[in-house]
Structure 1
């Protein structure tokens, strides 16, 4: 039994992870929210799971490094600077960072990469995601994860290929681009569809989340896998052996 500390424990995901830990018999070492001392929790834990906020990431990484414990980061809305911080921390401790901890989404990203690699640029790629009205970032971390998978399949940079927020007279679609559309409303836990649109045929790869428990279960499984690993930066596909 390992001691799991949860960063962002008062949020929806933090509470769901606490329940998931109980389901699999792992020990909940405690939680930390805004203003709490993360260092104390890190020292009392064998592993940290972070679903807090981008603003808290640096302090959370510092606490994990000081305590010498692995950290799984599921926080979305991360920017280039945050990924640089993660790379630095991964030189000292095991770090698993992902835009989505669902095992189903992890497999979906693998399929998207394979499809993008094999279908070629004459198939247009559009990613549509739906989330609850309270979500504050767009596109979602999962949509970006799927976009990265598509871009890797085509051996291009997502930063160069992505198109977001079409409005007004946009002109015709540029070949090779990857489009994003975000819907917000109600209590949708998270729906994602990657559309591959060719001439006279279409392929859609989708994942629908019915509640947050799937993300919590995936986070716990990812954390269990991360325990005992050497310092480095890891991903959810490695958890599934992809």
Structure 2
């Protein structure tokens, strides 16, 4: 039997971090050997892991990438809300390290992304796209990282100059809902994904952590992990 993947979990005290910990307890292929949160030193823990999983805060990404580069460790980054400068930090690190950088680790959402691209190709310019996303009221970034990713897919596929309209709703304890609307003459197509539990994101992140081991340097998406 192969040894379990040794994981450094950054952001372990957050909602997603706690869910990852709970799932890993029952997963013999994963061993969370260290947990860090904002303000904790990352350096000692990074040295002794096989892969780092980040569900912390955008402010931590520079230190995370610096430590991963120093010890040549792959990363799975699930934190959203990065500025352009911080995204460049990730891109630069990916020139030397394998990094899975995804706004959403759900299998269903990644299939939704694939369907969105196909729908945009098939429906053509007569159908105007719009995105509506809903999350719990504690979520800080808006629009969500997933909504931004979907908008970028639409914009690139359609070669649009204008931005795709995004409506962000923050209410209750909604885990996450994303709907892409294509409004055409006399008809309307909607593609929707609803998350019922954070476990779907944690399960995807652990799958990405197992997958990224041994991969060449580069920035990978969850669709790469799933083979979509």
Q: SS in structure 1 opposite 2:126? A: coil
CA distance in 1: counterparts of 2:22 and 2:58, whole angstroms: 24
Please, which of 170, 181, 194 is the counterpart of residue 208 of structure 1? 194
Q: Secondary structure at the match of 1:120?
A: helix
Give, in whole Å, the separation in 1 of the partners of 2:101 and 2:149. Answer: 11
Q: Does 1:240 align with 2:226?
A: yes
Give unmatched runs, 5+ long, in structure 2: none
Matches within 5 A, 1:1-242: 1-25=4-28, 26-156=30-160, 160-162=161-163, 178-242=164-228
Work out the CA distance in 2 between the residues paired with 1:186 and 1:44.
39
TM-superposed deviation, 1:201: 0.7
SS in 2 for 1:24: coil
> Is 123-132 or 24-33 further displaced after alignment?
24-33
Asked if 2 retains the 8 angstrom alpha-carbon contact of 1:115 and 1:153, the reply is no
Alpha-carbon offset, residue 155 of structure 1: 3.0
Query: 1:169 maps to what in 2?
Result: none
RMSD (Å) for aligned C-alpha atoms: 1.0
Alpha-carbon distance in 2 for matches of 1:218, 1:32: 20
Unaligned runs of 5+ in 1: 163-177
Q: Give TM-score, length-normalised by structure 2.
A: 0.95
Distance in 2 between residues matched to 1:29 and 1:202, nearest whole Å: 49
Runs of 4+ residues deviating >3 angstroms: none
| 1:113-158 Cα shifts (integer Å, max 9, x gaps) | 11112211210111000000101110001111111121222134xx
Equivalent pairs counted in the alignment come to 224
Deviation at 1:52, TM superposition (A): 0.7
- Between the aligned partners of 2:155 and 2:121, the Cα distance in structure 1 is 9
